[in-house]
Amino acid sequence: MGKKLKLFALTAVALMGVSGVANAETTLLASDDFVGISFWLVSMALLASTAFFFIERASVPAGWRVSITVAGLVTGIAFIHYMYMRDVWVMTGESPTVYRYIDWLITVPLLMLEFYFVLAAVNKANSGIFWRLMIGTLVMLIGGYLGEARYINTTLGFVIGMAGWFYILYEVFSGEAGKNAAKSGNKALVTAFGAMRMIVTVGWAIYPLGYVFGYMTGGMDANSLNVIYNAADFLNKIAFGLIIWAAAMSQPGRAK
């Protein structure tokens, strides 16, 4: 099983690598395009993390494996989107907004699912937790997209997006999810949950800040907005998964 999975992960990575090479032939990155360079750096970090999570999946205790799989799916999906996003950027110099939101629409619910899975790895968790986090996510992203793509007033989109985010924060701090984690009596879970919650608070705050400066105050250009979103994705997708991996590795019963 472990061997098969590793083979699968390596094949997937090789295939992704091949498509990456194809892109490199048609798109030339200018040496002074720092935004383009940030797209390339983050895409490669996402590729490496994907390989890492899929291979490491076999070394964590059984109850934590699904969380590590989901971490690898998040970085894998984002890797593919980053290849498209960097092409859009390098070729047109425009923000790849629609690819970004498609990526967020898939990866953010998966990240939310992680809160549920880490709780479920230790105790029974109520599926209401998952659904409430999902509703908050959809409100946040749909509001933000409608605002960024100018379907609705940018301030209205922002307000709707913030409401969704606050609902998520309420759930993980004071709602059922937060209470479950606090009561679990499992040190690794409490540590991981606390760190994941900090990422969703501090790391995620970068996106609405980018939105405000990029669309509402008019004080920032597409360059800064994209560098900020790219750096935020690095933290919120890769570091988030590594925190879960570290918690899983500190649990008794892991494979040697």
Ligand X SMILES: *C/C=C(C)/C=C/C=C(C)/C=C/C1=C(C)CCCC1(C)C
**Which residue lies nearer to ligand X by CB, 5 or 212?**
212
Q: How far apart are alpha carbons 19 and 25 in whole angstroms?
A: 10
Q: How far apart are CA 250 and CA 96, in angstroms?
A: 39
Q: Would you say 175 or 208 has its CB closer to ligand X?
A: 208
Q: Report the nearest approach of ligand X to the CB of residue 110 (Å).
A: 9
Token pair for 90: 């390098």
Cβ proximity to ligand X: between 132 and 237 the closer is 237
Query: How many other CB atoms are there within 10 angstroms of residue 145's CB atom?
Result: 20
| Nearest to ligand X of 116, 204 (CB atom) | 204
Residue for token pair 């509001």: 143
Residue linked to tokens 């899975």: 117
- Residues forming contacts to ligand X in the complex (CB under 6 A) are 104, 107-108, 111, 140-141, 144, 158, 161-162, 165, 204, 207-208, 211, 233, 236-237
- If the CB atoms of residues 150 and 187 are measured against ligand X, the closer one turns out to be 150
Residues 111 and 237: beta-carbon distance below 8 Å:
yes
* Measured distance CA(113)–CA(1) in Å, rounded: 25
Spatial distance between the Cα atoms of 139 and 169, rounded to a whole number of angstroms: 13
CB of 234 to ligand X, least distance (A): 9
CB of 164 to ligand X, least distance (A): 7
Nearest approach, Cβ of 193 to ligand X (angstroms)?
17
Question: Shortest distance, CB of residue 153 to ligand X, whole angstroms?
Answer: 13
Minimum CB–partner distance for residue 27 and ligand X (Å): 23
Structure tokens at 195: 């760190």
Residue type, 200: V
Amino acid identity, position 14: A
Cβ nearer to ligand X, comparing 36 with 161: 161
Q: Are 29 and 36 in contact (CB under 8 A)?
A: yes
Q: Give the CA distances from residue 244 to residues 115, 158, 195, 197, in Å, rounded to whole numbers and listed in that order.
A: 10, 30, 9, 12
* Distance of closest approach, residue 206 Cβ to ligand X, in angstroms: 8
Chain residue whose CB lies nearest ligand X: 144
Nearer to ligand X, 54 or 158 (CB): 158
